Chain A
Amino acid sequence: MTDLRDTILDSMRQVALISDCTLVDDIDDDTVLLQSGLDSLGFAMLVAQLEEEFNVDPFSEMELAVYPRTLGEFVSVYQSALQPSE
């Protein structure tokens, strides 16, 4: 979980750089994504970046359109998608 969160945070930093956004300091699990400093296009780029990294886009694979509100929820969505299926 920590590794995954670190990878996601790294990707957020990379995307912030290329999308001219500035991330807020002290991002934690309770940080509301839309207040993290990335704009909506930045989040699209983050999902694209993570898809290249993990070869998965959990939001396309969901049955319903549900979007996480906080970083913790965002990490959980990726964690569920990356768990090996039983």
Chain B
Amino acid sequence: MDKSEQTKPLVVVTGAGRGLGLAICKQCLEQGYRVVAISRTLSAELKGLQESNFDDLYFEPFDLIELDDIHHLCKTIIANYGRPYGLINNAAVGFDGVLATMHNSEISSLLNINVQAPILLAKYLSRSMMLNRGGRIINVSSIIASTGFNGLSVYAASKAALEGFTRSLAREVGKANITVNCVAPGYMQTDMTESLQGEKLESVKRRSPLGKLATPDDAAAAVLYLLSQHAKSVTGTVLTVDAGSTA
């Protein structure tokens, strides 16, 4: 059967190579979705997942810094695999450093990858969802959007921007039966947070009510809930998964 004629709903996941994105891909496949996995490179883990889900996982290599090519990427996805049901804007970069000495090019590329790329993906893929009269857009934020963290001011700005975007877009596309939500994970042990080690890491764990960190699987489960029909009346909200750290 042509891939675009499959009946399983199609979900587009960015940053699919590692960490939370990979966990989202795994859970989507387990729950009967087809997945377009977008990542700069095919990681060994994603390759393994692709080999065991050849019919349902499609890898699209793409670097989201290439903003001008996002429209073409979306057209290719729709032409090859059909209209998507869901978009998971998970990819992000998290350069840390004191703002006063952060290079302007780093500020600019962080905002392009973390804010503008997800907005453009939502722009072009929500069109298909409108024609389907339904869909799900889930933006991966962070508790840093609403708390503070030394050395992550630009990252925090990008995540707060995504949350603002989520609320207004939810109002805009609700009439087309598309929901737009955020999942805000706390600190998770992924490659992105590997700089958080030792005493700092122990302190984050100690302060959480559950005495541990949330895992990528915990945050992925929240994404899967928002994708599901159970969440059909949930839109414009932020679902925090942080083992209670911000309680």
Instruction: Classify the interface of chain B: helix, strand, loop or mixed.
Output: helix
Residues of B within 8 A of A18 (CB): 131, 133
Taking a contact as CB atoms under 8 Å apart, the answer to whether B131 and A49 are in contact is: yes
Which of B75, B78, B127, B172 sits near A45, CB closer than 8 Å? B127
Residues of B within 8 A of A52 (CB): 78, 131
B173 on the A face (CB < 8 A): yes
A1 on the B face (CB < 8 A): no
Taking a contact as CB atoms under 8 Å apart, the answer to whether A45 and B71 are in contact is: no
Interface residues on A, range: 10 to 19
List CB contacts (< 8 Å) of A54-68 with chain B.
55, 57, 60
A binding-site residues for B, Cβ under 8 Å: 18-19, 41, 44-45, 47-49, 51-52, 55, 57, 60
Residues of A within 8 A of B131 (CB): 18, 45, 48-49, 52
The complex places the Cα of A19 from the Cα of B133 at a distance, in Å, of: 8
Interface residues on B, range: 10 to 19
Instruction: Classify the interface of chain A: helix, strand, loop or mixed.
Output: helix
Question: Given A18-B133, A55-B75: A48 and B176 within 8 A (CB)?
Answer: no
Taking a contact as CB atoms under 8 Å apart, the answer to whether A19 and B176 are in contact is: yes
Question: Given A18-B131, A51-B127, A52-B131: A41 and B75 within 8 A (CB)?
Answer: no
